[in-house]
Amino acid sequence: MTADPGPVVCDLPETGPSPDPVLELRHITKRFPGVLANDDVSIAVAPGEVLALLGENGAGKSTLMNVAYGLLAPDAGEVLVDGRVVSVRAPRDAIALGIGMVHQHFMLVEPLTVTENIVLGGEPTSAFGVIDRDVARRRVVELSDRYGLKVEPDARVRDLSVGRQQRVEILKALYRDARILILDEPTAVLTPQEVNELFDIVRELVSEGLAVVIITHKLEEVMAFSDRIVVMRAGRVVGETVPSACDEQSLARMMVGRDVVLRVEKSPHQPGSPLLEVMNLSVLDDRKLPAVRDVSLVVRAGEVVGIAGVDGNGQRELVEAIMGLRRPTQGTITLKGRDITHDNPRRTIAAGVSHVPEDRHRRGLVLDFDLVENVALGDHRRPPFSRYGILDRAKLEQEARRRIAEYDVRTPDEHVAAANLSGGNQQKLVLARELGRDPDVLIAAQPTRGLDVGAIEFVHRRILAERDCGKGVLLVSMELEEVMSLSDRILVMYEGRVVAEFEGGAVTEEELGVFMTGGGRPGAEALGSEGTDA
């Protein structure tokens, strides 16, 4: 392994897989224009082992595993399976060698059933060459039962939760006889309960002799579920250890090369006058079913209002209604006393609301555009970036460089396509654009989804800085620790309603969890303020 020139941050025991690793990557180097993604990296994983590949966004973790899976060709180095050098030129080669990969963004055909997705491309056929659906279904059921995956073989993928869709992806790999399973950020969009269920499944897999590599940046999960940890930074391996030999703080320091504040301290809030008021709002989802039911809330100047809830309980539709992306069927939305209920997104932004969307790829960025163009989105029709309908490219580039520097977006230059940034840097770019408008209210939906500890610390500090300079923040997150750490008030949504409200710091995760899953008496913990309809 190539050692980082910096100091070792904790006592690292002599570690390594068994003498007979099932997968090895030796001296892998991979370059992209302006970026050395992997710099002479060597790792190995043994059967029956969970290897956590830990590092910042952009550290080179996914690039390395994409080499192992045949999605990328290395510039140097070799891949070994069962001790022999193999050629992995495409995913089909990896699959034939027993390597399976579950990507952060699932690769499923939503209108098809679970069974159809799992066997797609490898359908069992009868003697007459006709797809044998009974055999396919039976095989899926056998695999599901064997590993405790509990999927319904005839369900449509589009009707499944994110956690269930992930199980389908795992079954796709097992159906193709994977012995090595690579999971890329597997918990980025899961609820706490789904995370625990996933790792129960992983433990079952390794008990059957599979080797599992988990690409992640979540320290608590690494400590709880991995057998061995390899840490990458800036394309290199900087350390290797086991959970019993380190703690979260030392791992974070190894990841980013400095001390990291894992829980941001905040000063007491000084709430001012109401900025955003939502009254008796009801909204339909994409299927024209009630998603938000008679919700009322208030966000005041100088406070963070957090919304906790299991994904799919109306949070997305609430945010989209506030931003003018979805029409409410009832109720009003006002900003500083002005009715914006029926404003479109452009007018909502102009009125003083900025939005960090939960899906930065679908709503936050145009991935094929460069960073200059992405920073300009939403402001490109207004001075100083545009005059008489003509863009001032020089001013756009100047402003993009300023925001890229201020928000520490790591990129060779401002002309790189947004698609070429790591997830953390993409999120920083979205923040640079949205906060650069100096909004009155920031709507932050899943603002740290998929980010590493260093990027999370940065985003949290920016959110609290907005609060401390008198802005209002509505925070929607499935990360309970994030909601509890940042929020001055916490609302809980369940089945489209606000069922409880708490002062920040006056509630435990367990108490929130009860209301998030429909337990307790709706409104039992409500403060009785105008901020809740419970």
User: pLDDT by residue (tens digit) across 114-140?
Assistant: 999 999 988 888 877 788 889 999 999
pLDDT tens, residue by residue, 75-116: 999 999 999 999 999 999 999 999 999 987 788 998 999 999
Burial call 357-377: b when 16+ CB within 10 Å, e when fewer: bbebeebbbeeeebbbbbbbe
Share of the chain above pLDDT 90, in %: 59
Asked if residue 227 has pLDDT above 60, the reply is yes
Dist CA 27 CA 265 (whole Å): 41
Pick left, alpha or beta for residue 40 (phi over 0 → left; psi -120 to 50 → alpha; otherwise beta).
left
pLDDT at position 259: 76
Q: How far is CA 341 from CA 286, 325, 331, 356, in A?
A: 19, 11, 8, 19
Tell me the pLDDT of the chain averaged across its residues.
Answer: 87
Which contiguous run of DSSP H or E holds residue 145? Answer: helix 133-147
Confidence grade of residue 33 (pLDDT, cut at 50, 70, 90): confident
Confidence grade of residue 16 (pLDDT, cut at 50, 70, 90): low
**Residue 439 C-alpha from the chain's centroid:** 25
Among positive and negative, which fits the CA dihedral 418, 420, 423, 428? negative
Asked if residue 420 has pLDDT above 60, the reply is yes
pLDDT tens, residue by residue, 274-303: 999 999 999 999 889 999 999 999 999 999
CATH (residue range 274-352+439-516): 3.40.50.300
pLDDT at position 116: 94
Asked if residue 46 has pLDDT above 50, the reply is yes
Classify domain 1-10+19-98+179-259 at the CATH topology level. Answer: Rossmann fold (3.40.50)
Average pLDDT for 368-390: 86
Yes or no: say if 202 and 230 are a contact pair by the CB < 8 Å rule. no
Matching CATH topology for 1-10+19-98+179-259 and 274-352+439-516?
A: yes
pTM: 0.71
**Helix %, strand %, coil % of the chain (to 5):** 35, 25, 40
Dist CA 259 CA 240 (whole Å): 18
The DSSP result for 509-531, as a single string, is: HHHHHHHHTT-S-TTTT---STT
Q: Please tell me the number of Cα atoms within 13 Å of 191 on its side-chain side.
A: 16
Per domain, the residue ranges of the chain are 1-10+19-98+179-259, 109-177, 274-352+439-516
**Residue 383 C-alpha from the chain's centroid:** 34
Dist CA 494 CA 314 (whole Å): 8
pLDDT tens, residue by residue, 238-271: 999 999 999 988 898 888 888 776 667 788 888 9
